[in-house]
Amino acid sequence: MRRNAKPLNSENKRLSIVIPTLGGPRLSSTLSCIFSSSINVYEVILCIPNSFAQGAQLISRHNVKVLRTSKEGQVAQRSQGFRYASGEIVLQLDDDISFDTNCLRQALDGISQLGPGNVLGPLYYDDKTGNVSESETSLNFGIRNFYLTYIGRLPSGRRKFGSFSPLTSSLGISLKYLNSPLQEVMWLPGGFVIGYRSDLILDDFYPFPGKAYCEDLIHSTKRAKKGVRHFVSSSLKVVTSVEESANRVRDLRSYLRRFDVRFKVLRRRLQVARLLDARVSLIILYFTIEFTLLLINTIVRLRK
């Protein structure tokens, strides 16, 4: 099934797991999932900035290595962890991801079948609802669909799922429109991505302070420029906390809260657009449409 090279056997492959963290409350749950796995993980690298040194006291196991990083920031911490990792296969993992005992084995088998030059990601399930986290479940979502296809230059129809454009937002995989158990996509969310060490992006490519909005799009773009292909496996399932969709706010207070988040995302996307040589004016147009539709939707809900 591999796309660029001969499939490889997963037996006896060393798996390194790199987790950038500040030692948050959900880290222990993520580590418990790793320790309960049906395979032996070669090393778990906790990338903790020096300013959060207390987080290093959370776990004491032979295969857990605490890497004190010189910089704080998800991408900076993770890139230092990548350089430190010595396993042939490397899994980048967020510190709030949970999974069952067979997930790591399935991920290791999956990437071994694909071979070098590919990365693999899972379906994300909402820890509150138990449902798959999906950007959209319908191909017919009006003005936004028109913009995404004809201005944002995303693929049409079901091919738009798992795609992104620097001009617009990205779309995740929709379970309803999966074409096969192994779906090629343009990008992968950064919470759980497994691939070969030889395909890692080692530089600290995110120059902006604060929360790393859109970093997974930049990361996927940099991998693609190296010739690395991105796949989602429907048999890989992880659980995480999913933010409420901006299109499903319940009241004006919720709208204002989401507006603040979306405005921060807009600022970051404008910066990302410059990195990817996109047209900033079209991004502003897209977010203006989104904010307006979100406000109209909120007002309609309040009148009911």
What pLDDT, on the 0 to 100 scale, is given for residue 249? 44
Where does the pLDDT of residue 177 fall: very low under 50, low under 70, confident under 90, or very high at 90 and above?
low
Could you read off the pLDDT of 42-59 as tens digits, one per residue?
A: 999 999 998 876 655 556
What pLDDT, on the 0 to 100 scale, is given for residue 1? 44
Could you read off the pLDDT of 70-108 as tens digits, one per residue?
A: 999 999 999 999 999 999 999 999 999 999 999 999 999
What pLDDT, on the 0 to 100 scale, is given for residue 6? 46
Could you read off the pLDDT of 3-42 as tens digits, one per residue?
A: 544 445 566 789 999 999 988 778 989 999 999 999 999 9
163 pLDDT above the threshold of 70: no
Cα–Cα dist 7/112, whole Å:
6
Exposed/middle/buried for residue 156 (C-beta within 10 Å: 0-12, 13-18, 19+): exposed
Where does the pLDDT of residue 180 fall: very low under 50, low under 70, confident under 90, or very high at 90 and above?
confident
From residue 28, alpha-carbon distances to 25, 94, 95, 263 in Å are 7, 12, 8, 32
Residue in 154, 89, 94, 162 with CA at minimum distance from that of residue 119? 89
Beta carbons of 233 and 122 less than 8 angstroms apart: yes
